[in-house]
Amino acid sequence: MRYHIGVISGDGIGPEIVAEAKKALDRVGEAYGHVFEYEEILMGGCSIDATGVPLTDEAIARAKACDAVLMGSIGGDAATSPWYRLKPHLRPEAGLLKLRKSLNLFANLRPACLYEELKEACPLREDRIDGGFDMVILRELTGGLYFGERKTESVDGVLTAVDTLTYNENEIRRIARRAFDIAMKRRRNVVSVDKANVLDSSRLWRSVVEEVAKEYPEVTLSHMLVDNCAMQLVKDPKQFDVILTENMFGDILSDEASMVTGSIGMLSSASLNDTKFGLYEPSGGSAPDIAGKGIANPIATILSAAMLLRYSFDLDREANAVEAAVKQVLKEDYRTIDIMPQKEPQRSAVTQVGTKEMGDLIAERIRYYEK
Ligand code: NAD
C-alpha cells in the first residue's frame, strides 16, 4: 500500500528525532511492502522564520490532505529566542493549537509503558512494578472545564470566579467509541474515570459510556472515581489497559502516569479525530538545551510512528514490529543519555549511543512477522 504522511519536523531536536522515525517507517516499508511518502510541513519557529506566522493556512490544508501527520516538536528557549518576543498568537505553540483545532483533534492518546530494562528510572517501589506496566490514557481534548464559559466578577463586593464544565452526550459518545476501538486492539479492558459521586457531567459521562459499551461486548468496562484512580496509578499501575477520561482529569492523570515511567524521551502521543486521521508526536518538547548535539532520544518519536501505523493505517503487525525492535535494543543494553542508569554497576554494563545510532539500531531490528 502507498501512504501519504505529513511530516512536521519543527524546531530544536525535532528534525533529529523525526529523521530516525522516518528511518524506522522506511524499514517497515521495505519489510512489509508499503510505500510511505513524506510531505514536509512547516510549523513552529521555523515557520515564523520563513513566513512570519507559526502556521499558514496553506500548511493546514496540506496537513489535512495527508493520511496522517508525524511531528517532532516545536518551540525554542523562551528566555533567549526572538520567537517569544512576538505576541502570543504569533509564537510557535500557537501553531500547534491552531492545527489541533483545525483538524478537530478531540482525542488525546498517551501510552505509559514501563520497560523491564528501564525500571530503575521508575520512582515506584519494585514490588509494585515487577514485570513492568503498559497502559494508554485517552483524554477528551476539546470539551469540559477548559472550554466552558468563564468569568470573574464582583458579587456583593467579593471577587468571584466561575468556570463551567460542560459535556454533551455526543462529545462523550465519540470519545467513548474511540476508547473501545483502542481497547479492541489491546487487552480489551476500559476503565472510565469520572467523579460521578459529585458531578452531573460525570453522571452523564458514565451513562453514555455504559451505552457505548453495549456495542463492544468483548471489552470489559469498569468505572473508577478520579481520586481513586490517582492513587491506583501509583499503587498498582499494572491493573490498567485503557483509561478513558474527560479533559481536566486526563490532563492531570496522564502527567502522573508519564512520571512513573521514567524518561520523557520514551513517551509517545497521538491526537485523533473521528476519521482515521491523527497527529502523532513525542510528549516532550524541542529540548533546546540539547538541540544539534546528536544526543536526543528518538524512541518516543519512533513509538509515535508505531502508533500512526496502528491507529491511522490499521497496520497492527507493523506497529508491533517497531515496538518489538525498541524492546530488543533496550534488552541489548543500548541507551541514550537520558535513559542511562544513574548508579554503578548498571551504568558500566550498558552502551551509551547518540540519536542516529539509536535510530539505526532500532531500524536494523525491525523484522517481518507472519502475523
Ligand atoms: P522539553 O521537553 O523540551 O525539555 C525538558 C527536558 O527534557 C530537557 O532537559 C530536555 O533536554 C529533556 N528532553 C526532552 N526531550 C528529550 C529527548 N527526546 N531526549 C532526551 N532528552 C529530552 O521541555 P521545555 O524545556 O519545557 O520546553 C522547550 C520548548 O519545547 C518550549 O518552547 C516548549 O514550549 C516546547 N514544547 C513543545 C511541545 C510540542 O512540540 N508538542 C511540547 C512541550 C514543550
Q: Which ligand 1 atom sits closest to the C-alpha of 301?
A: 18
- Indicate the length of the chain as a whole number: 371
The alpha-carbon radius of gyration of the chain (Å, integer) is 21
* Contact present, 69 and 36 (Cβ < 8 Å): no
pTM value is 0.92
Collect contacts of 132-136 with beta carbons under 8 A, ≥24 apart. 132/238, 133/237, 133/238, 133/240, 134/241, 135/111, 135/237, 135/240, 135/241, 135/242, 135/243, 135/257, 136/109, 136/110, 136/111, 136/112, 136/182, 136/186, 136/241, 136/242, 136/243
Pick out the chain residues at pLDDT < 70.
none
The residue behind cell 464582583 is 154
Q: Which of 77, 146, 316, 327 is catalytic?
A: 146
287 lines ligand 1 (CB under 6 A): yes
To the query of whether residue 163 is one of the catalytic residues in this protein, the response is no
Whether residue 255 lies in the annotated active site: yes
355 lines ligand 1 (CB under 6 A): no
Smallest Cα–Cα separation from 360: which of 10, 23, 18?
23
Å from CA of 71 to ligand 1 middle = 13
Q: What is the pLDDT of residues 142-171, one digit of tens each?
A: 999 988 899 999 999 999 999 999 999 999
Regarding the beta carbon of 79 and ligand 1, being less than 6 Å apart is answered no
Ligand 1 center to 300 CA (angstroms) = 12
Active site residue 156: no
Judge if the beta carbon of residue 266 lies within 6 A of ligand 1.
no
pLDDT of residue 333: 95
Counting from 1 in the atom list of ligand 1, the atom nearest the Cα of 14 is 40
Element (H, E) at 260: none
How far apart are the C-alpha atoms of 112 and 20, rounded to whole Å? 21
* 127 included as an active-site residue: no
Q: What is the pLDDT of residue 235?
A: 94
Residue 366 is inside which H or E element, if any?
none
Q: 268 C-alpha vs ligand 1 centroid, how far in Å? A: 13
Local structure of residue 310 (DSSP, 8 states): I
Atom of ligand 1 nearest to the CA of 73: 40
Residue 290 has a pLDDT of 96
Q: Does an H or E element contain 349, and which? A: helix 346-349
Question: Reduced to 3 states, what is the DSSP secondary structure of residue 291?
Answer: coil
Alpha helices in 193-293 (DSSP H): 200-213, 226-235, 247-259
pLDDT for the residue numbered 132: 86
CA angle 261, 190, 276 (to 5 degrees): 85
Closest C-alpha residue for ligand 1 atom 36: 285
* Structural domains in the chain plus CATH codes: 1-111+264-371 (3.40.718.10), 123-260 (3.40.718.10)
> Which of 11, 91, 286 is the best mutation target for the ligand 1 pocket, counting ligand atoms within 8 Å of the beta carbon and taking the most?
286
Separation of 290 CA from ligand 1 center, angstroms? 9
Residue whose grid cell is 507493523: 318
What does the DSSP 8-state code read for residue 311?
Answer: I
pLDDT in tens, 236-271: 999 999 999 999 999 999 989 988 887 777 899 999
Per-residue CA distances from 41 to 36, 280, 281 (Å): 15, 14, 14
